[in-house]
């Protein structure tokens, strides 16, 4: 099948000129030296995919989707090039597993390959890039996505998880291995499953390893942290960890009277997760300490955690971005960012973060703001797009 893509250059606003993001200011803003990762003799680079290039640094990209299906744009954060991908169904939600963006709408989910990914290999990482493009469609509304070297697990709104063959997905083919009742997350070469029958660990081929000695009522959200898999429950969370082949579960209850957390959002590779906390503000869950911390911001439209040593970022309904100390819940910085509409911040606005920057989509102005959250929430760049970025994910991590 022939795939047509158009590549154009992005135009940052003059007020945030490229001089603010020269190499040395941030890893995400520096150009990378990519070289084709071709097998040499009998040695194949770890994580090599046919046709990809291996680079010396993370190849970070944004995937922005128009809500009415007019188009998808993939923004290369190193070169500032934009790849135009065609539209399709309406898009009402977006999640990522680090490489692929899963764009849901109309009862099905479109899979977009960002063309950028990171492969962990012992004490170092391998970074790859290739051309973005479409990778197929799966049934249902996908609310969470996680992958390892063998499978990609897609949690769906109906309470099931569809498990895809990872190698075939990387080749642009959707191959559904099985559908699991409950929330299933790849972890330590296994699948951890939370459902009506409790918490269990399974082999990736379906064999049951054992049960987790912990209870999680209504498990509808999950995240993978450096401490293990954390499941959101009706009374807090359960952290599933692994040590020398043994899987354990730790219950982390909400503080007394605390509101239930919404969907989890985090910087990949961190041990903290963030979530909307009802109308009160936002939660920070430190899986290393096993503690919840409430940032009392008032009604929050979007939240993400940036790591144990980084702030909890909260966008409130008035369009103001806030930074909170993740351990104490104290506010450390604020920055007016979005113009509030008549109904507040639009649905679909999100905060996505890497180790240096955070990104916030602004559908009202068809822009995406790059935030230096280490520098009092300074706007480092603002990207103008020719589609409305109703949904946004960051890939390549």
Domain ranges of the chain: 6-181+254-395
Q: Which residues of the chain have pLDDT under 70?
A: 1-51, 121-122, 341-342
Contacts of residue 283, defined as CB under 8 A and 6 or more positions apart, other chains included, come to 258, 261, 274, 275, 276, 277, 292, 293, 294, 295, 303
pLDDT for 311 equals 97
Contact 129, 114 (CB under 8 A): no
Domain 6-181+254-395 maps to which CATH number in 3.30.420.40, 3.30.70.240, 3.40.50.300, 2.120.10.30? 2.120.10.30
pLDDT for 341 equals 66
pLDDT for 50 equals 63
Contact 315, 362 (CB under 8 A): no
Tokens of 12: 């940052």
pLDDT for 340 equals 76
pLDDT for 36 equals 41
pLDDT for 125 equals 81
pLDDT for 41 equals 40
Contacts of residue 397, defined as CB under 8 A and 6 or more positions apart, other chains included, come to 58, 60, 98, 118, 268, 269, 354
Contacts of residue 7, defined as CB under 8 A and 6 or more positions apart, other chains included, come to 81, 82, 83, 84
pLDDT for 22 equals 33
pLDDT for 34 equals 45
pLDDT digits (tens, 9 = 90+) for 279-293: 999 999 999 999 999
pLDDT for 121 equals 65
pLDDT for 19 equals 36
Tokens of 53: 């290039």
pLDDT for 122 equals 63
pLDDT for 52 equals 77
Phi/psi for 346 (5° steps) reads: -60, 150
Torsion angle, CA of 360/11/132/90, rounded to 10 degrees? 60
Contact 190, 204 (CB under 8 A): yes
**Pairwise CA distance, residues 393 & 352, whole Å:** 7
Supply the pTM of this predicted model.
Answer: 0.87
pLDDT for 55 equals 85
Torsion angle, CA of 107/108/109/110, rounded to 10 degrees? -130
pLDDT for 342 equals 65
């Amino acid at each position: 099948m022939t795939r047509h893509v158009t590549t154009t250059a992005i135009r940052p606003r003059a007020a945030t000129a490229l001089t603010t993001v020269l190499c040395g200011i941030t890893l995400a803003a520096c150009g990378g030296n990519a070289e084709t990762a071709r097998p040499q003799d009998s040695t194949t680079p770890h994580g090599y995919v046919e046709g990809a290039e291996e680079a010396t640094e993370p190849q970070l990209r944004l995937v922005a989707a128009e809500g009415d299906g007019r188009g998808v744009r993939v923004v290369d954060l190193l070169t500032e090039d934009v790849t135009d991908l065609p539209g399709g169904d309406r898009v009402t939600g977006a999640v990522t597993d680090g490489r692929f963006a899963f764009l849901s709408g109309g009862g099905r989910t479109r899979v977009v390959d960002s063309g950028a990914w990171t492969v962990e290999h012992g004490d170092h990482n391998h970074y790859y890039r290739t051309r973005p493009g479409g990778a197929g469609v799966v049934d249902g509304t996908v609310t969470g996505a996680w992958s390892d070297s063998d499978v990609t697990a897609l949690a769906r709104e109906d309470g099931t998880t569809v498990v895809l063959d990872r190698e075939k997905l990387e080749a642009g083919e959707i191959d559904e291995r099985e559908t699991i009742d409950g929330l299933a997350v790849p972890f330590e070469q296994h699948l951890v499953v939370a459902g009506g029958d409790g918490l269990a660990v399974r082999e990736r081929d379906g064999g049951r390893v054992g049960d987790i000695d912990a209870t999680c009522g209504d498990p509808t959200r999950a995240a993978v942290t450096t401490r293990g898999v954390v499941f959101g429950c009706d009374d807090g969370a359960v952290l599933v960890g692994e040590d020398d082949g043994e899987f354990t579960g730790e219950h982390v209850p909400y503080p007394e009277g605390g509101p239930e957390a919404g969907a989890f959002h985090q910087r990949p590779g961190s041990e903290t997760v963030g979530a909307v906390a009802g109308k009160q503000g936002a939660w920070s869950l430190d899986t290393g300490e096993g503690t919840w911390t409430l940032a009392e911001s008032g009604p929050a439209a979007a939240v993400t955690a940036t790591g144990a040593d980084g702030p909890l970022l909260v966008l409130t309904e008035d369009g103001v971005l806030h930074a909170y100390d993740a351990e104490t819940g104290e506010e450390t910085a604020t920055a007016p960012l979005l113009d509030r509409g008549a109904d507040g911040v639009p649905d679909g606005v999100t905060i996505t973060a890497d180790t240096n920057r955070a990104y916030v989509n602004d559908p009202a102005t068809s822009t995406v703001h790059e935030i230096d959250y280490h520098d009092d929430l300074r706007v480092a760049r603002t990207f103008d797009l020719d589609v409305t970025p109703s949904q946004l994910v960051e890939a390549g991590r």
